[in-house]
Amino acid sequence: MDDKKKQKTVYSVHDRGGGRPYWMRVGHGWEQKDGSIKVRLDAVPSTFELHIRDYQPAPQANGHTQEPSS
């Protein structure tokens, strides 16, 4: 399995009241060989509900994507 497919992004979702929810990135995760997910938090979420999604590079203003640095 490709390492990029194994990488995850961890979000804390906040309700902004009346509008769309705000998805704040709070960390990263990696799928392990046994199927479990190892998580490293870069910030302490203000809610105790986390959403773990497959990693996708964020688009930049020029239309290109930037790969995360190690």
User: What pLDDT digit, counting tens, does each position of 6-30 carry?
Assistant: 899 999 988 878 888 888 999 999 9
Q: Of 19, 33, 32, 51, which is closest to residue 41 (Cα–Cα)?
A: 51
pLDDT at 45 over 80: yes
Q: What is the mean pLDDT of residues 35-54?
A: 90
**What's the domain range around 46?**
3-54
Model pLDDT, residue 62: 60
List all residues 6 or more positions away from 68 whose beta carbon is below 8 Å from its beta carbon: 55, 57
Domain count, the chain: 1
- Threshold 0.85, pTM exceeds: no
pLDDT at 4 over 70: no
- On whether residue 7 sits in a domain, the answer given is yes
- On whether residue 62 sits in a domain, the answer given is no
